[in-house]
Amino acid sequence: MSDLQHARLAELCAELRLSAVPDLYGALAQGAVAREISYAAFLEEVLRGERDARRARAREMFARVEGFPAVKTLDGFDCVFRRSRPGIPI
C-alpha cells in the first residue's frame, strides 16, 4: 500500500472517528491475504478490532473518572484467602 493511500485512509478514518482502524488494517489485511479469507470476513475483523479498542478505551476512561486505584478482574481474586476465613459466607 502506498503512503498516499495510507494517508487517505487515515484521513477518512479520522473523519469517521474510527481511531483504531489505521493501526489495525495493515496487519489484518496481510493476515487476510495469507489466509485467503473473503473481503467481508476481513471487514468484520477490522470492525471487531475497532469495537474492541473502543470498549477498552471506555473501560479505561470510566476507571479514571471513578478514581479507582487499579483495575481488578476475577482472575486476580484470591479464592484461597476467601475460603480460609471462617464465618464469612462464600
Domain-located, residue 90 = no
Mapped to the 3 state alphabet, what secondary structure does the chain carry?
Answer: CCHHHHHHHHHHHHHCCCCCHHHHHHHHHHHHHHHCCCHHHHHHHHHHHHHHHHHHHHHHHHHHHHCCCCCCCHHHCCHHHHHCCCCCCC
pLDDT digits (tens, 9 = 90+) for 10-45: 999 999 999 999 988 889 989 999 999 999 998 999
Residue 90 pLDDT greater than 60, yes or no: no
Domain-located, residue 54 = yes
Cell of 65: 473518572
End-to-end CA gap in the chain: 56
Total domains, the chain = 1
Domain-located, residue 49 = yes
Can you tell me the mean pLDDT for 57-79? 79
Q: Which domain holds residue 33?
A: 3-83
Domain-located, residue 79 = yes
Phi and psi dihedrals of 68, rounded to 5?
A: -65, 140
